[in-house]
């Protein structure tokens, strides 16, 4: 087997082992979905100078180069006829990402397109690399070769130059991000080189690709042959929030070097209000980050009528560009290369004091809107309190508790105060600044007052709601008690205790009622049953025959503190006493009307009857009094 064949076999075996490890370990969606092949599309013009031997030599050389760089097998396919306009003999149309995806160049992170033709004794070679995650195509220039023996080496070198290494951020350490470059034998970007970044996030609604627009990382140091640490331009700064998903299983961050370009990079300055270009803005260029404040010294140049300025770059890397317009200045780090350039600076057209006045008016407007919202909501709450609409009041409280951002108001106003003091010497003079400072302080006091009133309004509404609920629950308890529905009465008391946690009387009554309702013993159960039967007597004769037993059972219930059942018995006791009293009146009237006509025996019988009635009335009245005393104490009446 040839050396080339052994290399291909080794690569395929490594690819198979990596695929099997993914299947076995299940190491997340991103790794499992990654292809272990590199797509390559090749096209050869129809000419006898481009024979099958040369074609195979080109494929073999490119395969070796890509398999060495990526560690993956190269999957070749023929170039579609529709792509012929993108090659040297075509009409100059650019190869687009959409065309690359249709040509299946998106199996891996990068895919290669190669075209070779022969015209007028010269081989014309052009290649392009499609970057799937960055969704762009990097095309080489057209290279001309006369000697056939140099074609294969030229293609190899051209692919090596165009095939830019792509890395992946594997983790973060403090203010740095660790990047691992794919493949082997990769030449790492030198420290200080800018890197473009794109994030690929897998969410429930699908795959999201988010480029870090207009910004870049910088290579800090090399750890080994394939690992380097990177960070933001300014050392010491924290990693931006864009990288907050680093290390999570459903997020991947890809990086690549900004295309090397030693020429100037353009910036453009426009108005932040209407986007019109800003001419004659001063531009300061430096290799070190400038200090704070307005830049000093002569500028590097001025923007032209289109708002453009070309930033010179003596080498690959980045420089700091500060644009100054009027009282305003802004600084950005600008990299050499294409990326998302030109860099746009949006600059305001108003003076510092005017901008601060506008900022203050915006804060005041937000505070006024908050006040209006609180007033409208409070008016609605008051109407609902009057109508005792509990549901409406509860909804209004929830609405009020959506706290206006008082802290944000205070922070914005305090920051405005600091800016005013810092720019005291700017346009408007000290007097103008002092006047605005005083107005801002008044607004701060107003915000503090509004916050106190807002909280007091919520507290007052909650008190009103508790009062309305307590009134309703007390009424529900009384209704349930009158109907002897003790389960409903307990529920009303339980809710009343929750609504008014300081209501000790309600808690005491609830506890006493819950203890009294269950039957404490068989004797207690019998006393309930017989007492209820005793007060159901429908005639004086029935009452006189059973009152002693009834009184005895009621006494048992009194000892058991059975307030609920005693409450039920009060009406029956009153009825029994009335029946006996009416019977006593009838007997007394009979005695008076008969006078001396009664026989001794009849006289004695009637006297005995009156004595029995008197004893019954006395016993029933006594137990009625004790029952009322316990019921009054039990129900806090």
pLDDT digits (tens, 9 = 90+) for 235-252: 567 788 889 899 898 899
Confidence of residue 385 (pLDDT cuts 50, 70, 90): confident
Quote the CA–CA distance of 196 and 256 in Å, as a whole number.
5
pLDDT digits (tens, 9 = 90+) for 4-32: 444 334 334 444 433 433 333 333 333 33
Q: How many CA atoms, within 13 angstroms, populate the side-chain half-sphere of residue 270?
A: 10
Domain boundary among 139, 162, 185: 162
Domain boundary among 227, 257, 287: 257
Q: Specify whether 533 is located in the same domain as 622.
A: yes
Q: Specify whether 133 is located in the same domain as 252.
A: no
The pLDDT value given to residue 236 = 62
Supply the angle between the helices 390-400 and 352-386 in degrees, to the nearest 10. Answer: 160
Quote the CA–CA distance of 521 and 394 in Å, as a whole number.
45
145 φ, ψ (degrees, to nearest 5):
-135, 130
Q: Specify whether 133 is located in the same domain as 83.
A: yes
CATH number at residue 208: 2.40.10.170
Report yes or no on 8 lying in a domain. Answer: no
Largest CA distance in the chain: 165
Confidence of residue 33 (pLDDT cuts 50, 70, 90): very low
pLDDT digits (tens, 9 = 90+) for 188-219: 888 888 888 999 999 888 889 999 887 888 88
Q: Specify whether 367 is located in the same domain as 415.
A: yes
pLDDT digits (tens, 9 = 90+) for 518-541: 999 999 999 999 999 999 988 888
Q: Specify whether 240 is located in the same domain as 336.
A: no
Q: Is the pTM of this model over 0.75?
A: no
Quote the CA–CA distance of 293 and 302 in Å, as a whole number.
19
The SS3 assignment for 198 reads strand
Quote the CA–CA distance of 597 and 253 in Å, as a whole number.
123
Q: Which residue in the block uniquely carries the two structure tokens 């429908």?
A: 538
Q: How far apart are the first and last CA of the chain?
A: 108
Q: What angle do CA 590, 593, 595 make, to 5 degrees?
A: 105
Report yes or no on 407 lying in a domain. Answer: yes
β-pairing, 110-119 vs 37-44, is parallel
Q: Specify whether 171 is located in the same domain as 157.
A: no
Quote the CA–CA distance of 582 and 302 in Å, as a whole number.
118
Give exposure, 143-180, as e/b (b: 16+ Cβ within 10 Å): bebeeeeebbebbeebbeebbbbbbbbeebeeebbbbe
The pLDDT value given to residue 153 = 94
Quote the CA–CA distance of 481 and 564 in Å, as a whole number.
8
Q: Specify whether 40 is located in the same domain as 147.
A: yes
Q: Specify whether 394 is located in the same domain as 425.
A: yes
User: 331 forms bridges with which residues in the sheet?
Assistant: 322
Quote the CA–CA distance of 275 and 263 in Å, as a whole number.
27
Report yes or no on 536 lying in a domain. Answer: yes
Domain boundary among 116, 135, 162: 162
Q: Specify whether 154 is located in the same domain as 174.
A: no
Cα R_g (the chain), whole angstroms: 47
CATH number at residue 290: 2.60.40.1120
Residue range of the domain that includes 192: 166-257
Q: Specify whether 467 is located in the same domain as 400.
A: yes
- How many other C-beta atoms lie within 10 A of the C-beta of residue 458? 18
CATH number at residue 98: 3.40.50.10070
Q: In the predicted model, is pLDDT for residue 86 greater than 70? A: no
Number of domains in the chain: 5
* Mean per-residue pLDDT of the chain: 81
Q: Specify whether 558 is located in the same domain as 444.
A: no
């Amino acid at each position: 087997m040839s050396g080339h064949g052994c290399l291909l076999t080794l690569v395929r075996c490594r690819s198979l082992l990596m695929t099997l490890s993914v299947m076995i370990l299940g190491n997340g969606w991103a790794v499992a979905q990654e292809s272990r092949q590199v797509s390559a599309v090749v096209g050869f013009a129809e000419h006898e100078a481009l024979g099958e031997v040369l074609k195979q030599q080109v494929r073999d050389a490119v395969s070796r180069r890509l398999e060495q760089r990526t560690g993956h097998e190269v999957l070749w396919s023929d170039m579609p006829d529709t792509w012929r306009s993108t090659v040297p003999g075509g009409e100059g149309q650019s190869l687009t990402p959409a065309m690359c995806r249709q040509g299946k160049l998106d199996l891996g992170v990068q895919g290669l397109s190669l075209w070779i033709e022969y015209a007028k004794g010269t081989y014309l070679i052009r290649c392009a690399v499609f970057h799937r995650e960055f969704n762009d195509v990097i095309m080489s220039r057209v290279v001309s070769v006369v000697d056939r023996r140099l074609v294969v080496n030229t293609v190899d070198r051209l692919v090596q130059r165009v095939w830019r290494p792509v890395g992946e951020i594997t983790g973060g350490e403090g203010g740095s991000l660790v990047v691992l470059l794919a493949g082997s034998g990769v030449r790492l970007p030198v420290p200080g080189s800018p890197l473009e970044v794109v994030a690929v996030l897998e969410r429930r609604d699908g795959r999201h690709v988010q480029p870090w627009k207009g910004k870049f990382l910088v290579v800090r140091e090399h750890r080994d042959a394939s690992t380097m640490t990177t960070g933001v331009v300014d050392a010491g700064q924290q990693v931006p929030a864009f990288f907050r998903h680093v290390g999570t299983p459903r997020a991947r961050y890809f990086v690549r070097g900004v295309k090397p370009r030693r020429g100037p990079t353009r910036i453009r300055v426009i108005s932040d209000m209407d986007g019109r270009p800003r001419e004659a803005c001063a531009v300061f260029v430096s290799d070190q980050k400038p200090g704070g404040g307005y830049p000093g010294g002569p500028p590097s140049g001025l923007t032209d009528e289109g708002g453009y300025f070309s930033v010179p770059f003596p080498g690959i890397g980045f420089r700091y560009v500060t644009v100054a317009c009027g009282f305003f200045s802004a600084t950005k780090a600008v990299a050499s290369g294409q990326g998302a350039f030109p860099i746009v600076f949006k600059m305001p057209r108003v003076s510092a004091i005017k901008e601060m006045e506008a900022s203050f008016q915006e804060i005041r407007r937000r505070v006024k809107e908050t006040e209006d919202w609180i007033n409208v909501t409070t008016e609605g709450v008051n109407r609902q309190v009057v109508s005792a609409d509990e549901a409406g009041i509860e909804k209004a409280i929830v609405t009020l508790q959506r706290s206006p951002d008082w802290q944000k108001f205070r922070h914005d106003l305090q920051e405005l105060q600091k800016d005013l003091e810092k720019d005291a010497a700017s346009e408007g003079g000290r007097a103008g600044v002092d006047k605005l400072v005083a107005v801002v302080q008044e607004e701060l006091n107003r915000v503090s007052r509004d916050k106190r009133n807002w909280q007091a309004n919520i507290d007052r509404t909650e008190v009103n709601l508790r009062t309305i609920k307590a009134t309703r629950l007390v009424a529900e308890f009384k209704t349930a008690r009158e109907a002897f529905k003790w389960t409903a009465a307990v529920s009303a008391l339980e809710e009343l205790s929750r609504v008014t946690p300081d209501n000790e009387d309600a808690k005491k009554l609830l506890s006493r009622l819950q203890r009294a309702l269950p039957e404490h013993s068989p004797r207690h159960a019998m006393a309930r049953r017989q007492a209820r039967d005793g007060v159901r007597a429908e005639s004086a004769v029935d009452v006189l025959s059973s009152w002693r037993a009834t009184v005895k059972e009621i006494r048992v219930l009194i000892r058991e503190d059975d307030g609920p059942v005693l409450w039920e018995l009060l009406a029956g006791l009153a009825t029994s006493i009335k029946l006996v009293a009416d019977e006593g009146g009838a007997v007394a009237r009979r005695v008076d009307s008969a006078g001396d006509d009664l026989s001794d025996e009849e006289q004695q019988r009637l006297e005995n009857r009156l004595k029995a009635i008197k004893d019954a009335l006395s016993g029933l009245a006594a137990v009625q009094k004790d029952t009322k005393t316990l019921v009054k104490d039990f129900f806090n009446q």
